[in-house]
Amino acid sequence: MDNTFWSMGGYARYVWPCFAFACAVLAWNLWSARRYHAAARLRAQRALQMAGGGES
Amino acid sequence: MWTWFYKLASPPYVYGAAAALVPWFLGAAALALGYGLIDGLAIAPPDYQQGDAFRMIYVHVPSALLSLTVYTVMAAASAVALIWRIKVGHAVSAAAAPIGASFTLLALVTGSLWGRPMWGTYWAWDPRLTSELILLFLYVGVMSLRSAFEDPERGDRAAALLATVGVVNVPIVHFSVVWWNSLHQGATIVKLGAPSMAGSMLWPLLSMWLGFMLFFAAVLCIRLQGEVLNRERQTKWVREAIMVRREVKS
Amino acid sequence: MNVGSQVGSIEAFTLIVRRELCLSFRRPDQLLQPLVFFLIVTTLFPLGLSLQLSLLRDMAPGVLWVAALLSSLLSVDSLFKSDADDGTLEQLALCGQGLTVIVVAKTFAHWLVSGAALVLVSPVVGTALGIPTGVFPTMMLSLTLGTLTLSWLGAIGAGLTVGLKRGNVLLSLIVLPLAMPLLIFGAGATDRAISGSSAAGALYFLAALCVFTCTLAPFAATVALRITLE
């Protein structure tokens, strides 16, 4: 299974970059969404701190 | 009967529901994607015409289907927000846009990589490919329009209108292979009648499709929480959600 | 105080069209700019590609249509801008006539001075690009349908971007993807006519696009303006 699997019947240089890009896009989506949420939470905390006069 | 609808319009409810659903969606997505990848890459037999190159179908088709689905979700949420003035709709639409754009890009790139060995070219000005490219431009347009306004509410509504207007492109992409002589293959799953694909190749594909959908749902929920927070920053429920309980998991 | 509601819709339409035409003709240089742009852009292609006239003919429909598209986009930016800047737009919105009537009138007037003018100039450009005279009727018909559709797509984009500072680039970004099917069929119709086969299919499709857009775009453009004016 090993060599035929990795060579993908000769199409390896298309198939593997394809799946690699797909993984990259999925990973980017997760990472970007988490970052967005974290930044939003931070901004909300700051806004509430300023409004509440420093109480946390 | 309408209570569930009203609940969906409530930002704190949506925020809490999204937070709770993320791990479930992610877990289910991992299972579906895992099975689909293993079966699709290693177990499914090679195609008699395309050999092992056909395996690119397992990321190309789900991402293309999702690119259309996500746009429809975005347009529907936008329409709901515009017609019934439900602000959560804008949050959903804003959260969905970058995800959909990334899936569209993925569909175009994987399709291009698949086209090179199969058609001999990385690109062709073919109805299916062109309309999918237009879809990418529409996503970018919606995101750019939303961020161009200083007043975020106005930006939301302008982007919502554009998203709704642009939804005409979705049936064009889907039916482009029917209406015109296209280089691209016709519909094999999303059509009336039985799918025209062998079972051993079909099951991993359906699993990947499901996995992508669940993944989209998970990422949407994560982004949605951020979008809701941004729109509801000064409200009391946000204060309670953020300050009192410091949630660990997003 | 709604004097405007005492006037019928058709009368309001005519009044606004006449107003728009009057204002446009007061600045003839502004009127001619998109046309000159159209001519210049069309000239760029033969210059850049230095092709013989017979070879240019193959590219001619596409060149013509891209130039028409770009010059339409250039002119549509001003559809609502000057009225929005001095507050006239808000007055018109409040005058008692539906905003839709006003939008239809302004867009139609805009099409008369930009799109229709383009159609009239197109034989000149067609000759410069080597399009045979027998094809001119098809070319002009496709351009008429196309520029009408473009004016409406532009009206939606203009309505959405009228308040923005660098709105014109965003306007193009919004309108061009929506206008791509138009380009494909418009250039296709002329192309088919040049090669001798029937352009009827493409023309019918163009007409369908035109009717679809002219029916639904007024409402979209009105909503867009309301979003901006609120």
The complex's ipTM works out to 0.88
Q: Is the pLDDT of residue C107 over 90?
A: yes
Most distant CA atoms of chain B, gap in Å: 62
The torsion angle over the Cα atoms of residues C159, C160, C164 and C167, rounded to 10 degrees, is -90
Chain B nearest C-alpha distance from C115 (Å)? 22
* CA pair distance A31, C9, nearest whole angstrom: 55
C166, C173, C180 ranked by CB distance to B134: nearest: C180
Its domain, for residue A50, covers: 24-56
Q: What is the pLDDT of residue C94?
A: 82
Residue ranges in chain B assigned as alpha helix (H): 3-8, 11-38, 57-84, 87-119, 127-148, 152-166, 169-179, 199-231, 236-239
A9-23, B188-202, B205-219, C82-96: segment of lowest average pLDDT: B188-202
Per-residue pLDDT band at A56 (split at 50, 70, 90) = very low
Helix axes A12-52, B57-84, angle to 10 degrees: 30
| Cross-chain residue pair C184–B162, CB shorter than 8 Å | no
**Residue B233, domain member (yes or no):** yes
Out of B117, B227, B250, closest to residue A34 by CB = B250
Asked if B39 reaches chain A (Cβ–Cβ under 8 Å), the answer is no
Q: How many domains does chain A have?
A: 1
Q: What domain range is B54 assigned to? A: 15-244
- Contact of A27 with chain B, judged by CB distance below 8 Å, is answered with no
C178 vs B130, B154, B166: nearest CB: B166
What pLDDT was estimated at residue A1? 56
Among candidate residues C96, C121, C111, C136, the one with its CA nearest the CA of residue C9: C96
Q: pLDDT for B170-189, tens place per residue? A: 998 888 887 777 778 777 77
| Cβ separation B145–C160 shorter than 8 A | yes
- Is A15 among the domain residues? no
Q: Mean pLDDT for chain B?
A: 89
- Of B153, B89, B9, B160, nearest to C223 by C-alpha is B160
**Which pair of tokens denotes residue C133?**
């005279």
Domains of chain C by residue range: 3-229
Return averaged pLDDT per consecutive 10 residues of chain B, 250 residues in all.
78 92 97 93 84 89 96 96 94 97 96 91 87 94 94 94 94 84 75 76 93 97 95 85 59
| B36 located within any domain | yes
User: Is residue A38 included in any domain, yes or no?
Assistant: yes
Other beta carbons within 10 angstroms of residue C46's beta carbon come to 19
Q: Look at residue B6 and tell me if it is in a domain.
A: no
Residue C135, C-beta contacts closer than 8 angstroms, at least 6 positions apart: C126, C190, C193, C194
Res. C3 pLDDT band, cuts 50 70 90: low
Query: What's the pLDDT at C149?
Result: 95
- Rounded Cα distance, B127 and B75, in Å: 22
Locate the chain B residue with the closest alpha carbon to C170: B145
Chains in touch with C (3+ beta-carbon pairs under 8 Å) read: B
How many Å lie between the alpha carbon of B141 and the closest alpha carbon of chain C? 5
Q: What is the DSSP letter of B47?
A: B
Measured between CA atoms, how close is C19 to chain B, in angstroms?
Answer: 28
List of chains touching A (3+ CB pairs within 8 A): B
CB-CB neighbors (< 8 A) of A45 in chain B: 242-243
Query: How many domains does one find in chain B?
Result: 1
C13's enclosing H/E stretch is helix C9-26
